[in-house]
Amino acid sequence: MNVEVEIQDLKQMMADLLRSQIETDRRFKETDRRFKETDRLLTEKFKETAQQFKETDRKLDKRFNELYGMFSSQWGRLVESLVEGDLVPILRERGIEIEQTSRRVKGSHKGQNYEFDILALNGPEVVVVEVKTTLKPKHVRRFVDKMGSFKTWVKRYAPNTVYGAMAFLQADAGAEQMAENQGLFVIRATGDSAAIVNQADFVPRAF
């Protein structure tokens, strides 16, 4: 009789243990489900926050570029004014008797828009000046290309002898020497004046 009772008790214990195990598994599954749901919600929130950060960065970059463009434009105009004010005497020192200067010469030729920062004129000769705050090799290459089209774009100066000049506050990566090697006048602007810094025996290239 005692054996039967013990067997019955053992069965009851096993049944209770099985129910407990089933309940534990259920709770684990419920906890895992909640973790997954929390992870999903956090992932969505992180994605939403990341998107908001990207949008904020985009707006800040756009505003910065706008402000930088405005600053660069105004600074460039100040440098142009400085250079233009000294063009007459510094070019006369090189034997070019300048009579007048013009800024921001713009136009269009067969759908091709062009702009030249400064033109210095004395009748038979024209000096085309490109002004940069920081002169880089790519600026020299582009300007030489522009000079190759100058007489085509601005036909009234086709009979003239045309020279090129690059003016700047500072130069990077040997751009200053590169400009001289291309036969361009090299004009360095300082705090309140500008000066031609080509070698004394420099001979400008006629375009």
Lowest mean pLDDT among 8-17, 81-90, 103-112: 8-17
DSSP 96-131: ----EEEEEEEEEETTEEEEEEEEEE-SSEEEEEEE
| Structural domain includes residue 3 | no
| Structural domain includes residue 76 | no
Contact 102, 125 (CB under 8 A): no
pLDDT digits (tens, 9 = 90+) for 56-90: 556 545 554 444 444 345 556 777 888 888 899 99
| Structural domain includes residue 130 | yes
pLDDT over 70 for what percent of the chain? 80
| Structural domain includes residue 67 | no
Q: What is the pLDDT of residue 67?
A: 40
- pTM recorded for the entire structure: 0.63
| Structural domain includes residue 44 | no
Could you give the number of structural domains in the chain?
Answer: 1
CATH of the domain at 101: 3.40.1350.10
Domain that holds residue 143: 82-196
